[in-house]
Amino acid sequence: MNRDSDRKASGGWMGWLLTLERLAAAGMLVTILGTMGAQVIARYVLHQPISWSEEWARFALIWLAFLAAAFVMAEGRHIAVDVISSRFGMRGKLWLECISSGFVVSACLLLLAGGFRFVWHVGLVASPALEIPMSWWYGAASVGLGLMALHSTYSTVAAFRRGRPVWDMPAENEDGRVDGGDVS
């Protein structure tokens, strides 16, 4: 089972959270494309540029980046180098994944704690065109870091329950059967 199917198999709140993250990120992407498309038409066809379009697209891009980072973390698809892990057995890989997840969770929580005061203080300032509080802009990082810490913790717990690294599990077919693994 890969991480994504592991969450769906749990059938609980984590599967719903992952779906919500994906839908929100897709919505942000559609928002960016729609806003920028409308701006191009308004500027070059109607000769009446939209004053707030660039700011709105930037806002959506920031949220898209942090939401996408969270669900990519949940799927175990962030860039990873497995030079060290390939030299260990299953038990060593499990411990290595747990240690690396610990570092990820620690880094996310440290950044989250350090950034929380900043986000709180910039809430008094509004963006120029849309007058959205800046805490909504910088809050995207807080939400993304919190979700990444949550997904990494969930994966570590799942790895311990199974007794093997989550990212080292065989893939699952469409009908729910487990493949034999890599052919290479």
Return the domain boundaries, the chain: 3-168
pTM: 0.79
Q: What pLDDT does residue 11 have?
A: 58
Q: Is the confidence at residue 183, as pLDDT, over 50?
A: no
Other CB atoms within 10 A of residue 170 CB = 11
Q: 143-176: per-residue pLDDT in tens?
A: 999 999 999 999 888 888 888 777 665 555 455 5
Q: What is the pLDDT of residues 42-56, one digit of tens each?
A: 999 999 999 999 999
pLDDT of 123 reads: 80
Of the listed ranges 35-44, 118-127, 160-169, the one predicted with least confidence: 160-169
